[in-house]
Amino acid sequence: MTLSKSVFRTLLLSILILTLSPSFAAQKKAGKKSKAQGTPVLWQEPRDIATRDLYHGPGGESMMPDLSRVTFIEKKTGGYSTKYRVRDGSGNQWVVKIGNEAQSDTVASRLLWAIGYPAEISYLVPRVTIEGKGSFENARFEARPKEIDRTSIWSWDNNPFIGTKEFQGLKVMMLLLNNWDIKDDNNKILVAQNKETGATELQYMVSDLGGTLGKTGNFISRTRNKPADFQKAKFIEKVEGDIVRFYYSGKRGDLFRNITVEQARWVGELLSRLSEQQIRDGFRSGNYKPEELEVLTRTLIERIDELKNLGDQQVKSKS
């Protein structure tokens, strides 16, 4: 069978488009193992969980950006939101996310960090002027410390933690936050030094959490950073045997079909060690309006209670 020149060109063009597409590149990148040496870390016991500062997050107050002068370095490509690499008044570099995902990204990362998962050092700035770009409201500043090396991405299907309760717990957190944007390209491995032991760690984290705090669904119905939608969305559907069925209709639903009652309850028990004020502080870090702050706080507490109270009987749906 001989292909015509026009058919051959079309076929060749299709192959090139697939090869050069972001999703294909992400899959190829995810398949490569990082050359960095260190201990893989997905979760560490948060011994200070009851006193963690969820308003300032993992960077604490000391690492907040110096907004006396913020200068543009370059525009970052890829993703839903506009992102700029900038330098603050103290010479530190940040990636600033502009747009609807900035608030949810900031808050979601704090909630993961609160119970022991590695998270980006980030802050939500209510208003900032970036020289050469203009002024923006609700801009997320994500740190780029010189001592931390950002290596490859990691895959939900191929990583050192598959089968562990910590990995299953991370999935539960994605469901808790209504993160519909589950894809490898949002996962990062950071090489950092453990401050207590001095050992080099490969920190596996979900770096981009902007597609949270709304409702899951397809590309038409899903939302991000909409407290009212988050409040209305159902969380746990039922328990079948020892497996928890969640209401979820985002990407990679197959990942959430084998979460056990014990694994889900473990996450609920960790989260229940946070006070209501800590949870509220976490949402305060996202600069939400007072009425949104209350909706988000109450909804999250209700979801934590659902996890804690999981048992052998079918969980009643939210009315």
Residue ranges of domains in the chain: 35-308
Predicted local distance difference test score (pLDDT) of residue 17: 44
- pLDDT band for position 33 (cuts 50, 70, 90): low
pLDDT of 244 > 80? The answer is yes
Residue with the larger pLDDT of the pair 198 and 96:
96
- pLDDT band for position 18 (cuts 50, 70, 90): very low
Q: What is the average pLDDT across 243-268? A: 96
Q: What is the average pLDDT across 212-232? A: 95
Tokens of 149: 């090396």
The whole-angstrom separation of Cα 42 and Cα 57 is 18
pLDDT of 318 > 70? The answer is no
pLDDT of 95 > 90? The answer is yes
- Three-state SS string over 220-281 comes to CCCCCCCHHHHHHCCCEEEEECCEEEECCCCCCHHHHCCCEHHHHHHHHHHHCCCCHHHHHH
Task: Classify the phi-psi angles of 57: left when phi > 0, otherwise alpha if psi is within -120 to 50, otherwise beta.
Answer: left
pLDDT of 14 > 80? The answer is no
Helices 101-114 and 165-176 cross at an angle (nearest 10°) of 150
- pLDDT band for position 317 (cuts 50, 70, 90): very low
pTM score: 0.86
